Amino acid sequence: MIIRCAQPEDAAGIAGVQVDSWRETYGGIVPDSYLNRMSTADRKQKWAKKTGSVIVAESRGEIVGFIHYGPERSGSWPGFDGELYALYIRRRHHRQGIGIQLFNAAVNELEQLGCRSAVCCVLAENESARLFYEAHGGKQIGDDTFFIDDVRMHEVIYGWDQLPRRQ
């Protein structure tokens, strides 16, 4: 397994992981209408512009996971200056230690950006993600709601008032 900073040419692989992960993880949670509209082609264009703040996990030339990170975006969490925006791994690569490798790499990059703390938002129904962040020191600091195709979604906000030590 290779953990490395993403390059623009990784955009299609990142997009594929995102679309597949959403469909694998959020079926029955997120409206099917939204999941069915997701496309790798649309996501590829978006990811091509963001690869500077993405770390990928690559196995045998295939992107199998990624983490996207950067400054806290909302301004809603005073005292938290960094954010983990997204962490996705193809289901067949779960439970292989890839998540913690990506998490640690992003924490290192946040430190390099001068961040001392971080938040992340997780759909409340995504229990495996919630357990992952809790196991790595994330504390519930709030919650929020938003809509996807007129369906109210609930997310839990996790925070680290100090970036965790890498394991």
Stretches in the chain below the pLDDT threshold 70: 166-167
Q: Quote the mean pLDDT of the chain.
A: 93
Quote the pLDDT of residue 77.
84
Domain ranges of the chain: 2-120
pLDDT tens digits along 125-136: 999 999 999 999
Each as own residue / partner, the long-range contacts of residues 125-130 (CB below 8 Å, 24 or more positions apart, any chain) are 125/29, 125/154, 126/25, 126/26, 126/29, 128/94, 129/87, 130/156, 130/158
Question: Is-contact 48 11, C-beta < 8 A?
Answer: yes
Q: What percent of the chain is predicted at pLDDT more than 70?
A: 98
| pLDDT value for 74 | 86
What is the CATH architecture assignment of 2-120?
Answer: 3-Layer(aba) Sandwich (3.40)
pLDDT value of residue 166 = 59
What's the angle, vertex CA 76, arms to CA 23 and CA 130, rounded to 5?
40
